[in-house]
Amino acid sequence: MSISFEGKVAIVTGAGNGLGRSHALELARRGAKVVVNDLGAGRDGSGGSRSAAETVVQEIVAAGGEAIANGANVTDFDQVEEMVKEAVDHWGRVDILVNNAGILRDKSFAKAPMDDFKLVVDVHLMGSVNCTKAVWETMREQKYGRIVMTTSSSGLYGNFGQSNYGAAKTGVVGLMNTLHLEGEKYGIKVNCLSPTAATRMTEDVIPDPKALELLTPESVTAGLIALVADDAPNRFILCAGAGGYAKTRILETKGIYLPPEKQTAEDVLANLDAIADETDQQELVGGFNQTVKFLKKAASAMGVKLGG
């Protein structure tokens, strides 16, 4: 069945170029009314102009779609609230939020100025928080919402020189993990997209022109569309690039139990191999499940009956 967004309203941040532009164009092609948000800054976050967003709007309108340009800075909650208000005033609702805006200030941790570190976290993490907070009540009231956080392999796995970016990109995964629980009963689904594509953010990292030809933004956007569809999953980390698609999961090993007399740092260190044994590892949904798991282990070993 073809995915359609007829009658739906989408906000895409950082939509003036690269992945955001691709996302906005495809959402519009499938019928969504789109707020094309872009501060118009350089990839390091400096400067600003609405021309990039307006160009994308012109493309959407020329193809028969509806869109408005918006230059809100995602780090400024007041500006973000105004952006959401503009969308609701214009079209009556907001169904989809794609948190895509981002910047780079790459340097090794030893050389990274704290102002740069804070700015990167503000844009990627707090920008996602601001935009999500601004649409949250609208989505709760209408009992429908699709929100995507943009994470990264740099956050999931690490990348030299990107401690600021990696910390922020892991942060949005934590945000998703809780918001999917809080939004589920209101019909709000929250997912993460981990993209790799040929954009101005990656042009220095991937110099091979043949590789860049394969890493199309459109191949990533296919994954994005799946994450905001009516039948989208919930709490899914979708990795996408060059036509490849995979899921990242955070797994916890079964672990071991140490009796009170063995609950020492020395015994933990001596048992790291057993602790790390991947047999029967599982994905936990909700942090309290870890507590329950450990309590059950302890109670079973000590012959204690829990729950009354």
Which residue stretches of 63-216 are H helix? 77-91, 114-121, 127-142, 153-156, 163-183, 209-214
Closest-CA residue to 146 (of 158, 138, 155, 154): 138
Place of tokens 């009992």: 143
Active site residue 186: no
Active-site residue, selected from the candidate residues 165, 186, 245, 257: 165
Q: Which residues in 7-36 are b (16+ Cβ under 10 Å) and which e?
A: ebbbbbbbbbbbbbbbbbbbbbebebbbbb
What element of type H or E holds 219? helix 217-228
What superfamily does domain 9-248 belong to in CATH? Answer: NAD(P)-binding Rossmann-like Domain (3.40.50.720)
Report the C-alpha gap between 98 and 93 in whole angstroms: 15
pLDDT in tens, 228-249: 999 999 999 999 999 999 999 9
Backbone angles phi, psi at 70, to 5 degrees: -145, 135
**DSSP character for 144?**
-
pLDDT in tens, the chain (308 residues): 799 999 999 999 999 999 999 999 999 999 999 999 999 855 554 545 579 999 999 999 999 999 999 999 999 999 999 999 999 999 999 999 999 999 999 999 999 999 999 999 999 999 999 999 999 999 999 999 999 999 999 999 999 999 999 999 999 999 999 999 999 999 999 999 999 987 655 566 666 777 788 999 999 999 999 999 999 999 999 999 999 999 999 999 999 999 999 999 999 999 999 999 999 999 999 999 999 999 999 999 999 998 75
Report the C-alpha gap between 93 and 125 in whole angstroms: 24
pTM of the model: 0.94
**Residues forming a β-bridge with 179:** none
**Residues forming a β-bridge with 149:** 99, 192
Q: What is the token pair recorded at 191?
A: 């997912």
* Integer angstrom CA distances of residue 220 from 4, 26, 185, 269: 18, 11, 29, 42
Per domain, the residue ranges of the chain are 9-248, 251-302
Contact between 106 and 83 (Cβ < 8 Å):
no
